[in-house]
Amino acid sequence: MSRSNPSILIADDDVAIRESLARELALSGFAPLQAADGAEALALYRKEHPDLVITDLAMPRVGGLEVIEGVRSWGTTPVIVLTVRGEEEEKVRALDSGADDYVTKPFSLRELLARVRAQVRRTGAASPVLRFPDLEIDTERRIVMQGGREVRLTPTELGILELLARRAGRPVTIAQIIRGVWDGSAQTSADTVRVHVGALRRKLEPDPANPRYIGTEPWVGYRFLVDPIEEPVAAAP
């Protein structure tokens, strides 16, 4: 689909938030759709097939989790959830159910827009070379260059780095890392993942105590903090 303005479905039972978001998203070049609760959201989703869904988690009757499950049963449309401070378990549950990212109320528009762009961005999945500011990851030749020097990584470390970098700007749960890098081997524990990420940070980051690339997301996992350098050639439609 080659719509000039990607469409975004906003599901929130609070009309003030809904309308404010719709207005600002429209100004940022998106085509917003509004739903007041989960049931309306799913009906609208099935009818309009938006490019992205933003949903509040606490809605009456049909809530955010059901929206996520509904969307997931249809396809891979990115879903961003709106959570509240103090409801961390709810957030993790949403991510485990298939949500792609979250923002915590009260959130800033800038933050939400960054997350939306990260989800809507074409990742160029076929590209073997991932380019970021001061960082180049050649997944084919297995060479990583940071700040002009080569960084020697073990296969596991490179696997983790690639997984995070391909999903730059989006949170990656520890479970997803285990599935992606260890093929879901049951013996791998969260602690093992943390140890490997720690080693990766020490090798890759110019200042491991203040990471520039690999950020921790408490309760959730990790997030690659920098945006890829946009390819001059347009991605495949």
Partner 1 sequence: MTDTATRPLRRRVALWTATVATLAISTFVGRKSGANEVTMALVYMVLVLGTTTVVGRIAGAVISVLATGCLNFYFLAPPGHMFVDERDDMVALVTFLAASTLVARLLTRARDAADRARARQLEVEGLWRERERLLAETAHVEALRESEALKTGLLRAVSHDLRTPLTALRLEIESLERQLHAARNGNGAGPAIDEEPLHTVRRLSSEQQRLARRIDNLLALARLEAGLARLHVEPVPASWLFRAAAESLSSLLAERRFERRVAADCPELAVDPSLALEIIVNLLENAARAAGSGGSIELAAASAGEMVAVEVRDRGPGVPASVARELEDDSGVLWAPGEDAGPRERLGLGLQIARSFAAAHGGSLQLIPRNGGGTTARVELPAVLVPHGSELERQEQHA
Contact residues for partner 1, defined by CB under 8 A:
14, 16-17, 20-21, 23-24, 27, 58, 82, 84-88, 105-110, 154, 156-157, 191-192, 194-196, 198-199, 207-211, 215-216, 218-219
For partner 1, which is the closer residue by CB, 2 or 108?
108
Contacts (Cβ under 8 Å, ≥6 apart) of 235: 122, 124
For partner 1, which is the closer residue by CB, 184 or 198?
198
Assigned token pair, 33: 């759709």
- Distance in Å, CB of 218 to partner 1, minimum: 3
For partner 1, which is the closer residue by CB, 45 or 222?
222
- Distance in Å, CB of 217 to partner 1, minimum: 8
Q: Report how far residue 50's alpha carbon sits from residue 166's, in angstroms, rounded to the nearest whole number.
A: 23
- Distance in Å, CB of 139 to partner 1, minimum: 20
- Distance in Å, CB of 22 to partner 1, minimum: 11
For partner 1, which is the closer residue by CB, 85 or 141?
85
